[in-house]
Chain A
């Protein structure tokens, strides 16, 4: 984005790789950060548009405090503009176009505690755009003994991510496709920063689970999917949980059909072949890919029915049969 002579008062936002250069009073691509006459300000600090208590399995986080409720926070705006966005009513809107509730960080923490939640999720839209809000709430939550979970697309610069990860315990990152062209054409982003963000999170010891939404015709190339799985095995570990999500027509891709079950099954099998131990399918009931099995002896560890836990046999983070340590945050 070129500006005319760098007039006094132009700022460059360095939060995400887009690095918008803003003239006075201009807003970034995300719609919630703006140049307040020489200083960058955020319009959504403490202004949540969504507050809800969700089951942990909805994020989806299957290996992180399973069966517990998680207090979810979101504000308006997003720095990506995926054509298939499932939350477009709040992510692709400016904050003044929707209703916001006053929810300062301490309020979030207090509410989470008194509603019996042990963790807070920064989700629905993308915590990247409400970075300062996430940072402050996460810090207070840490002090109060709560866990923090990010549900993000990972399209964020390394430095802010590293600083935030100090307080983050778990993250669900949306790896939309292993194809930079898909990122550019469909999501208005790019792939490399997301991969870099995943590596950074791994270095910072954040518990990662990956989601991949398969849009028929756009990112259902099985070759790319297995490349993605091999990358995950190599860089993040073969026990990283991977969730394949079924696409349902939304926002700007109402012309496409929902993902066929066949595609999801094939993708899941490919992922298993590539070496990933925990592969799940979401938004669609495939019993084989809903439960958690021990990678060592194959015992059923956790039995799930959509968002409900039917049985949890993990004791102290170990398999009850073979005693193998299970990858996850269980307490």
Chain B
């Protein structure tokens, strides 16, 4: 049975890697998307005072010149895609539309495309974060503009990258000089320093194998990674990395991600055991609940393999079929982000309750990120095996029956419940994303389908319409 699982897992691994590589190659070969103008409504939304817009590709970066009723340029509208640096939120690059006038006063900003969890993103829009930019001067000091709590990474990213891009354009078009952003980088330094200290604590706790230190590290991480920065490791960042793009502009997040991957590659699961805030919550629940569920050894072994299957499903769903919602099935955000959707909250609560009777239920049985780190460790082990270094294989027992009594059946039911809840969360997120994007996608489709330039290239079809006409009457009986 063990060797069967080995072949199966090797096969799944090979398929997953192939899917990722194919998806990356496709993205690389597709190259730069053609320059597309956002729909007129969005342009007027960010710059209501303008009468019309004119595409201007003459500068270093393309932008849309906003014109008044007399045809004179009064300002510029730009897409953050076309200006460096790329705006990266928690989950990856986002596309923002912003407008400022000739004096550098910002008239509006809106997000066109993003890959964040819908609930996370609505925290930013709900707090009116983007509206706070209106009326500020591009060259001014934005340090007093606070990020949205619970969505620090994305709001800081918007603030920093959008303003940087705007300043470049403002300088080129209107000669507006800006002072450097000394203050915000000190905040970032503080963040990175805290994370670095936390990582040091976790590593020390791991090496010393000290329970007290481990608990301290977990507590510190709940506070720092969970409540303050809300940036625990998630399959979203790992996937963005696998898709060959930098996950987040925040240095702290990047540091954490690299640390987790390197420690996994050296076959030391420091992140999972010392740092993961959700793992800490699960252990805390376990320590509270007096009852212990003890399923059979064989069942526990098989249950711990299920997480590799969920990881495989998430990889295929995202890389092969493009379902962004597959990356949002983890409950980390829901626990610390109090405005998450009901389903994510319910899922997180179910997992915490299950983990009260079975230690680290989610971590051991379902967590795709954990499975990914484990896979990294196992790959590294296999590679080391090839170069002759010895390694220890940890296996559970494979003797005996799988289901040995009511405890095992209860455990299986719990697993099934959790799996279906996870799938449910994925579907619900997908639905919400579709809702949010529905309107923009319909607009985008209208636009991408036929652009005046592309009509000249001949993007036509022969379909006819069949709409009721006006001005007719049913003919009377013939004379």
Contacts and interface: CB of A to CB of B under 8 A. Distances in A.
A106 B70 CA distance: 24
Interface in B46-70: 51-55, 64, 67, 69-70
Contacts of A111: 40, 447, 451-452
Interface residues of B, number: 46
B462 A113 contact: no
A74 to B, nearest CB: 12
Nearest to A10: B475
A129 to B, nearest CB: 10
A115 B453 CA distance: 11
Contacts of A160: 470-471
A41 B459 contact: no
Interface stretch (A79-87, A93-101, A179-187, A258-266): A93-101
Interface string B33-53: 000011111011000000111
B472 interface: yes
Nearest to A111: B452
Contacts of A176: none
Given A3-B478, A4-B478, A13-B472, A41 B452 contact: no
A211 to B, nearest CB: 25
Interface stretch (A43-51, A191-199, A234-242): A43-51
B464 A114 contact: no
B472 A53 contact: no
Interface string B230-259: 000000000000000000000000000000
B464 A110 contact: no
B32 interface: no
A126 B329 CA distance: 56
A281 interface: no
Contacts of B41: 110
Contacts of B446: 104, 106-107, 110
A116 interface: yes
Interface in A1-37: 2-6, 10-15, 21, 33, 36
B194 to A, nearest CB: 45
A46 B449 CA distance: 14
A307 B243 CA distance: 51
Contacts, number: 145
Contact of A5 (B451, B473, B478): B478
Nearest to A16: B471
A103 B450 contact: yes
Interface in B418-450: 443, 446-447, 449-450
Interface in A107-134: 107, 109-118, 131-132
A315 B446 CA distance: 40
A52 B472 contact: no
A38 interface: yes
B388 interface: no
Interface in B451-479: 451-452, 455, 458-478
Contact of B44 (A13, A113, A132): A113
Given A4-B478, A115-B452, A36 B471 contact: no
A131 B462 contact: no
User: Among the interface residues A4, A45, A98, which one has the most CB atoms of the partner chain B within 10 A?
Assistant: A45
B71 interface: yes
B452 A99 contact: no
B477 A114 contact: no
B464 A5 contact: no
B468 A40 contact: yes
Interface size bucket, A side? 35 or more
Given A101-B450, A115-B452, A43 B466 contact: yes
A11 to B, nearest CB: 5
Contact of B450 (A102, A109, A331): A102
A35 B70 CA distance: 46
B469 A33 contact: yes
Contact of B469 (A42, A53, A95): A42
A58 interface: no
Contact of B467 (A45, A53, A100, A109): A45
A316 to B, nearest CB: 11
Contact of B470 (A15, A49, A99, A144): A15
B469 A132 contact: yes
A33 B468 CA distance: 9
Nearest to B473: A12
A221 interface: no
A323 interface: no
Given A41-B467, A41-B468, A99-B460, A113 B43 contact: yes
A99 B457 CA distance: 12
A134 to B, nearest CB: 11
A68 interface: yes
B447 A110 contact: yes
Nearest to A116: B54
A157 interface: yes
A3 B54 CA distance: 54
B460 A101 contact: yes
Given A107-B446, A114-B64, A11 B465 contact: no
A39 interface: yes
B67 A116 contact: yes
Contact of B51 (A10, A96, A118): A118
Contacts of A44: 464-465
Contact of A99 (B64, B70, B461): B461
Contacts of A14: 471-473
B458 A114 contact: no
B461 A115 contact: no
A43 B474 contact: no
Contacts of A104: 446
A257 interface: no
B52 A118 contact: yes
Contact of B40 (A53, A96, A114): A114
Given A41-B468, A111-B40, 15 more contacts: A6-B476, A11-B473, A15-B470, A15-B471, A45-B465, A45-B467, A99-B460, A104-B446, A112-B40, A114-B37, A116-B54, A118-B52, A131-B469, A145-B51, A331-B70
Interface of B: 37-41, 43-44, 51-55, 64, 67, 69-71, 443, 446-447, 449-452, 455, 458-478
7 contacts: A10-B474, A11-B473, A41-B467, A46-B467, A132-B469, A144-B40, A331-B70
* 10 tightest A-B CB contacts, nearest first: A99-B460, A113-B40, A116-B54, A40-B472, A10-B475, A45-B467, A110-B40, A6-B477, A45-B465, A42-B469
